[in-house]
Structure 1
Amino acid sequence: MSTRPIGYYVHHHGAGHLNRARIIRDAMSLPVTLLGTGIESEGIALADDRLGASFDGQDQTANRPKTLHYAPLDHEGIRNRVARITQWIADARPSLMIVDVSVEVAMLARLTSVPVLYVRLNGQRSDPAHLEAFRGAQALIAPFAQAMENPATPDWVRAKTYYAPGLSSDGPVLGAQNDTVLVIIGKGGTSLMAEAIADAARSCPDRTWRVVGNLSTPSERPRNLVFAGWTDNMAEEVAKASVVVGAAGDGVVSLVMAADRPFVCIPEQRPFGEQHATASGLQRMGAATVCPAWPDAQEWPATLSAALALDPKGRRALNDPQAAKRLALWIEAQAASGVAQELAA
């Protein structure tokens, strides 16, 4: 088996991409080098390519090619990161590049003669840029169950995809359940206001409401509401809760499914309808109570009851405790295949 390293590009919006990269890296027997913005302590640090505080991986450049999502002109950060990535590839000669996620980096790696494994998120990704990135990749990785697939996904994309549900999970953690409603606020941004959570807590005085994530405390907070801030022990928080309330990002969904907890899913607006596609899949599988928006205060008792009444078979079908180990073996086989093809040539 080749001992050449595997490169892993990490997108820098939200916490899920880096968490997933760490889980995959730690399951691998081959060396893995992370490349991304803000990872100075554990990989190759890349210059920031963002135009401003708000960043969704797309730009409005008038003459941007349809096969790219993000290509603003005269951006020093982009020039520096492209140079850093290509220099690392030239020096390290990786057997593979895993790209999570960026059409531009996938194309860049392909142009530098490196096989690409592209992490394909859920949603409506039939635009030219996504389809060409999928076409140019050796294979695709979906960090969700096949049952959660968007019905509009082309058959050839499905056939090229390795489905790996549970990758963003730290694994199940045993915890003593209590009557806590855990509200998770991810790092990818939220439309939720603290006052709305306070109103929900007031409507359910028999339960403790605990909020983890970066959200300001409201001016008036009921006694059964706790704002705990961000935590790196999210799996432990989920394991102790009786019900979890959160968005439909892969990280949150995987944590909740792994912990086998009732889930109230409220999808956020994301590019390509990613979270709404995931929420639809959860609803089809009976794995969560899905709400299109934050319920009114008086609706929360019934909403929690509906989540608690769900048959756990739905959520259990969407988790694979061995997902990281299985994926690592598959990636190593992909790396060996690429090296064998190179030697044969």
Structure 2
Amino acid sequence: MKRRPIGYYVHHQGAGHWQRANRIAAALDRPVTLIGTLADIDTRDAAGALLDLPDDRLSERFDGLDDASERPEALHYAPVGADNIRTRMGRLAAWIVEADPALIVVDVSAEITLFARLMSVPTLTVRLSGNRTDTPHREAFRSAEAVLAFFPPELEAAGTPDWVRAKTVYAGLPAPERMPPTPEDGSILVIYGRGGEGGRLTDLAQAARAVPDRSWHVLGPVENAGGDHPPNLHLHGWVADPAPWLARAALVVGAGGDGVVSGVAAAGKRFVCLPEPRAFDEQVAKAEALASLGAAIHSPAWPSPAAWPGVIAAGLRLDPARIGALAEPGAIPRTARLIADLADRMDARRP
């Protein structure tokens, strides 16, 4: 039986989609082509071939929806008359015809999932957290062979339909392997990922001054980082490996993105979750689920200076074992096996 290649579509929001796709591709034992808008991604360690697609955004403001007054109910983003999108989909179609993939993993896009189905290619589509019960998401899930969730069932949104849950394979948080126990130094770690707007020095300085007995370490972009700030606030910028800071921290403050939550869970750290605005309440739903499990403090907005001592005290009272229990080791190899098995079934089904 011929073993055909696998395509893996990577969304361009943030760095998390690329990172987990590349880790999964490295664990697969058949050819993989990583597909997406890759110009702003460091692909030097790519674990497969690359198919770079033109950016589909028409402006810097992009929330996954176009501005059309009318569009098909099964689509979120389908502007008319956009040459970049026409070239993008044409390039993907040409690759499908030439490569004859057994399967395309879609992380994430309702449009790419449906386009692959129209090209007669089976898909495994990734479902993010949040309230994804709208028509485009439902039809993408319906068209896929299976749905893949990079979170445990405990973090499922309450309104998810039963048929979507039944079709979903819960791979778990794609966290790094559990780190060996490291003595905590009492510090507070604030993490900003690449997919968000970053932090503001004014906010961070006020928080550090409100809790002066602890060191505050900040990873990621900070606006006006060169400005005046208290001596207990340390700005490190973007770091390739946050593990050493996570290991030492007594408490982590961050958004509800997959990368941050996965890292915090793997390290088993007390967590204050400040979800950033995302479509379909992705981060809010995750923060609410974590809070309901006693695995995090959910703060809907950046706390005021007067509120920070209470927030930190509440966070330090958390049992870190609660969030640590959500990090089931082996999510990446487990997902690779799932993808390989599905691709094998698609090969066997091929006339």
Please give the TM-score of this superposition, normalised by the length of structure 2: 0.93
**TM superposition shift of 1:119:** 0.5
Structure 1 CA distance for aligned equivalents of residues 3 and 188 of structure 2: 46
Task: Check if 1:233 corresponds to 2:241.
Answer: yes
Contact 2:198/2:220 (CA < 8 Å) preserved in 1?
A: no
Task: Check if 1:150 corresponds to 2:157.
Answer: yes
Query: Could you tell me which residue of structure 2 aligns to residue 204 of structure 1?
Result: 211
Structure 2 CA distance for aligned equivalents of residues 67 and 191 of structure 1: 33
Query: Could you tell me which residue of structure 2 aligns to residue 141 of structure 1?
Result: 148
**TM superposition shift of 1:288:** 0.7
Task: Check 1:149–1:50 CA distance in 2 against 1; reply closer, same or farther (3 A cut).
Answer: same
The partner residue of 1:272 within 264, 276, 280 is 280
Contact 2:4/2:347 (CA < 8 Å) preserved in 1?
A: no
Contact 1:172/1:239 (CA < 8 Å) preserved in 2?
A: no
Structure 1 residue matching 2:350: 3-state secondary structure: helix
What do residues 61-92 of structure 1 show as CA deviations (whole Å, max 9, x unaligned)?
12211111111121121111111111111111
Contact 1:263/1:289 (CA < 8 Å) preserved in 2?
A: yes
Query: Could you tell me which residue of structure 2 aligns to residue 5 of structure 1?
Result: 5
Structure 2 CA distance for aligned equivalents of residues 245 and 183 of structure 1: 5
**TM superposition shift of 1:114:** 0.9
Query: Could you tell me which residue of structure 1 aligns to residue 76 of structure 2?
Result: 69
Task: Check 1:18–1:297 CA distance in 2 against 1; reply closer, same or farther (3 A cut).
Answer: same
Query: Could you tell me which residue of structure 2 aligns to residue 171 of structure 1?
Result: 177
The partner residue of 2:97 within 90, 113, 116 is 90
Structure 2 residue matching 1:242: 3-state secondary structure: strand
**TM superposition shift of 1:192:** 4.4
Counterpart of 1:25, as a letter, is: A
**TM superposition shift of 1:140:** 0.4
Structure 1 residue matching 2:97: 3-state secondary structure: helix
Structure 2 residue matching 1:33: 3-state secondary structure: strand
Task: Check if 1:18 corresponds to 2:18.
Answer: yes
Structure 1 residue matching 2:216: 3-state secondary structure: strand
The partner residue of 1:101 within 88, 101, 108 is 108
Counterpart of 1:205, as a letter, is: P
Counterpart of 2:14, as a letter, is: G
Contact 1:13/1:55 (CA < 8 Å) preserved in 2?
A: no
* RMSD, aligned CA: 1.6
The partner residue of 1:188 within 160, 170, 195 is 195
Structure 1 residue matching 2:35: 3-state secondary structure: strand
**TM superposition shift of 1:20:** 1.7
Q: Which segment drifts farther, 282-291 or 212-221?
A: 212-221
Counterpart of 1:36, as a letter, is: G
**TM superposition shift of 1:2:** 5.3
The partner residue of 2:319 within 294, 311, 316 is 311
Structure 2 CA distance for aligned equivalents of residues 259 and 129 of structure 1: 36
What do residues 167-217 of structure 1 show as CA deviations (whole Å, max 9, x unaligned)?
1x2333345532221111111223742211110001111211111111121
Aligned length: 342
**TM superposition shift of 1:320:** 0.9
Contact 1:195/1:218 (CA < 8 Å) preserved in 2?
A: no
Structure 2 CA distance for aligned equivalents of residues 15 and 238 of structure 1: 19
**Aligned-pair identity (%):** 47
Show structure 1 runs of 5+ residues with no match: none
Please give the TM-score of this superposition, normalised by the length of structure 1: 0.95
